[in-house]
A = this chain, B = another copy of it.
């Protein structure tokens, strides 16, 4: 996911947010009480869940500061795969998610097969945003006509994709992406959505949530998003997992502001589960060409993410602030115990 989530535009002050979240959780429990009573979920489990924070559900003390450092867009380009693999080896980037329709999928799938410990999810993909270099669906094109632009690729933007999408076709395509990943030997630990397309409207998000629950995979959601959607709280159940906060650097941050942005973000972390969404790549010929007409989320911007998030400075600020790095695999095991 590389776009601004609309939620962030409406970010509330922390205190106000906490109150909102409390109200939302109460509402969510009320909405889901009937299904609990009907035995759709274990009532004792639900009550237990409803009374605990995500940190506590994960077995940590309530004041723990847990962090997932996540690399999006794996499979997009060789430059992205190489950067992500380097970042995983640093131990500071804990997780990543893979774009199954992209042509460099086989390279990152080979890594997944030989690194079973790697925390790799799927970055479900319905857009193809770089004009010189594009891709299309996993399914036959005639089965997902609503997802394709005039040139036969996925749409360039998440808003075009969401506004044209037939939800049944999207469901078939994302199920096909999950199946294909598994056929390539990837055992995904979580799901998210490239450019946030699956979060663009209620119909898409409800379907996404249903597919995720059926496949028993956690999905990226943040409490902050509650402030900008009227539907999100109403469709959650107590077993769903919602991050307390997501951090993602914006294109507007100047190169010299990188260290400060991440350092301040870590220093300001509250107890809870936070995810840093990063976009790692090298500023090389391939990535420069792909992002040539796309100044935001470009190759130099991505290389700055790689440099800071694998640096000793980042390691130091994590240690100084007693940040515990976790993975989506931990969350999945808690959310869907075997």
Residues of A whose CB lies within 8 Å of any CB of B are 77-79, 81-82, 103-107, 110, 131-135, 138-143, 151-152, 180, 183-184, 282, 284-286, 289-290
Shortest distance in angstroms between A44's beta carbon and chain B's nearest beta carbon? 44
Given A285-B82, A286-B284, residue A138 in contact with residue B152 (CB < 8 A): yes
Interface contact B180-A152, CB-CB below 8 Å: yes
Closest residue of B by beta carbon distance from A77: B286
Chain B CB count within 10 A is highest, among A81, A132, A152, A184, for: A132
Task: Please report the C-alpha to C-alpha distance between residue A141 and residue B152 in the assembled complex, in whole angstroms.
Answer: 13
Chain B CB count within 10 A is highest, among A78, A135, A289, for: A78
Task: Please report the C-alpha to C-alpha distance between residue A286 and residue B290 in the assembled complex, in whole angstroms.
Answer: 12
Indicate which residue in B138, B139, B183, B286 contacts A79 across the interface (CB closer than 8 Å).
B286
When distances are taken between beta carbons in the complex, the residues of chain B under 8 Å from A82 are 285, 289
When distances are taken between beta carbons in the complex, the residues of chain B under 8 Å from A284 are 284-286
Given A104-B132, A131-B106, A133-B104, residue A285 in contact with residue B143 (CB < 8 A): no
When distances are taken between beta carbons in the complex, the residues of chain B under 8 Å from A134 are 103, 105-106
Chain copies in complex: 2
Task: Please report the C-alpha to C-alpha distance between residue A285 and residue B283 in the assembled complex, in whole angstroms.
Answer: 11
The 8 tightest CB contacts between A and B, nearest first, are: A107-B132, A286-B286, A140-B140, A78-B289, A140-B142, A140-B141, A103-B103, A78-B286
When distances are taken between beta carbons in the complex, the residues of chain B under 8 Å from A78 are 132-133, 285-286, 289-290
Task: Please report the C-alpha to C-alpha distance between residue A134 and residue B151 in the assembled complex, in whole angstroms.
Answer: 19
Task: Please report the C-alpha to C-alpha distance between residue A156 and residue B321 in the assembled complex, in whole angstroms.
Answer: 51
Task: Please report the C-alpha to C-alpha distance between residue A142 and residue B138 in the assembled complex, in whole angstroms.
Answer: 11
Task: Please report the C-alpha to C-alpha distance between residue A288 and residue B275 in the assembled complex, in whole angstroms.
Answer: 33
When distances are taken between beta carbons in the complex, the residues of chain B under 8 Å from A289 are 78, 81-82, 107
Shortest distance in angstroms between A257's beta carbon and chain B's nearest beta carbon? 28
Closest residue of B by beta carbon distance from A111: B132
Shortest distance in angstroms between A180's beta carbon and chain B's nearest beta carbon? 7
Shortest distance in angstroms between A319's beta carbon and chain B's nearest beta carbon? 32
When distances are taken between beta carbons in the complex, the residues of chain B under 8 Å from A107 are 132-133, 289
